């Protein structure tokens, strides 16, 4: 490989540096580019699921505004670590009160995971945003904007980020593989997308981890994420439906030991497989299976034993197969 994995995470290495390089957020980028053109901006609130480009967009906006020396004018804080009122009243206030010479008359404070800030800290931040608006603009980043108090939300222009499309994630992963001289397969990249659910950061991390095993194949992807191959999970369901209860139970135990899966992990994969086109069962059987899995999931979350509950699930699936499929 062309770079040592321990030197730099691919997520940071291949983070877009400019707004024009951000994909799948066209409306957001279009609005932010106007701020760059005008060299002015209000306080901003970036909201949306993890890994959709919120932090990247904030840093890219700063880069496009200030140029290569943008870090001199940006204070970046992770509010989940530094979320107390003391940080807001000291570090943020000290940074916000000083003026900046040059074409851009303000600095930027980026508060990542702002929805984790305490209520007192948010109240203090509200006052600072009012007092120092001439010299400092804030970009608040949140997965759950409802946790941010209304007075702060009303002072910000809101931007909603959406999960990335399959084609955008797969294209980017292919490009990273070409840069890192890693051999990858299209079906493996599609599996990474399915696991990441539109989270580009998660997708890149999975790709990097899978590449340490050699080629990026479906098998290696499932190994690094600690999940069983869907085919193996599907076979367990099919064995139970065919009345082979003991064989299905033995295969399930072997699967959990091999991949180190918890009961919840197995249930999530089973839930995904019952809606797969590869599992040839009637529609009403899928409905009953979904109901079974939901009930067992609730029991496990409440503290029931994983093995006992999964065995009970296989027993129910076996009884269902005997009534409806044979």
Strand ranges in the chain using DSSP code E only, listed in sequence order: 43-47, 74-78, 107-112, 136-142, 156-160
Residue 3 has a pLDDT of 43
Split the chain (326 residues) into runs of 10 and give each run's mean pLDDT.
Answer: 53 88 89 92 93 92 91 80 66 78 84 86 87 90 92 92 91 93 93 90 93 90 86 91 93 87 89 85 89 94 92 93 72
What is the value of pTM for the model shown?
Answer: 0.77
Per-residue burial over 229-248, b = 16 or more CB atoms within 10 Å of its CB, e = otherwise: bbebbbbbbbbbbbebbeeb
C-alpha triplet 216, 201, 6: angle, nearest 5°: 65
Residue 190 has a pLDDT of 92
Is the distance from CB of 300 to CB of 220 less than 8 angstroms? no
Q: What are phi and psi of 304, to 5 degrees?
A: -70, 160
- Domains of the chain (ranges, CATH numbers): 25-160 (3.40.50.300), 166-225 (1.10.8.60), 230-324 (1.20.272.10)
């Amino acid at each position: 490989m062309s770079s040592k994995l321990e030197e730099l995470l691919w997520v940071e290495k291949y983070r877009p540096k400019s707004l024009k390089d951000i994909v799948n957020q066209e409306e957001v980028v279009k609005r932010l580019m106007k701020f760059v053109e005008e060299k002015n901006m209000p306080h901003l609130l970036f909201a949306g699921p993890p890994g959709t480009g919120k932090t990247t967009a904030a840093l890219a906006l700063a880069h496009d505004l200030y140029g290569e020396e943008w870090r001199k004018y940006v204070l970046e804080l992770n509010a989940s670590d530094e979320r107390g009122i003391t940080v807001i009243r000291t570090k943020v206030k000290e940074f916000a009160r000083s003026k900046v010479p040059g074409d851009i008359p303000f600095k930027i404070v980026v508060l990542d995971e702002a929805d984790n800030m305490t209520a007192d800290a948010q109240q203090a931040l509200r006052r600072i945003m009012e007092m120092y608006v001439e010299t400092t603009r804030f970009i608040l980043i949140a997965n759950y904007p409802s946790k941010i108090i209304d007075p702060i939300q009303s002072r910000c222009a809101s931007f909603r980020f959406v999960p990335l499309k399959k084609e955008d994630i797969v294209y980017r992963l292919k490009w990273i593989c070409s840069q890192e001289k890693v051999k990858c397969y299209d079906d493996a990249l599609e599996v990474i997308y399915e696991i990441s659910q539109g989270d580009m950061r998660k997708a890149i991390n999975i790709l990097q981890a899978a590449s340490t095993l050699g080629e990026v194949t479906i098998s290696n992807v499932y190994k690094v994420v600690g999940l069983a191959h869907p085919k193996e999970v599907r076979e367990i369901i099919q064995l139970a439906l065919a009345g082979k209860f003991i064989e299905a139970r033995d295969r399930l135990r072997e699967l959990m030991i091999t991949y180190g899966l918890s009961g919840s992990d197995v249930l999530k994969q089973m839930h995904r497989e019952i809606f797969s086109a590869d599992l040839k069962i009637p529609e009403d059987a899928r409905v009953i299976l979904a109901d079974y899995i939901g009930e067992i999931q609730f029991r496990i979350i409440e503290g029931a034993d994983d093995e006992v509950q999964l065995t009970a699930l296989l027993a129910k699936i076996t009884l269902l197969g005997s009534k409806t499929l044979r």
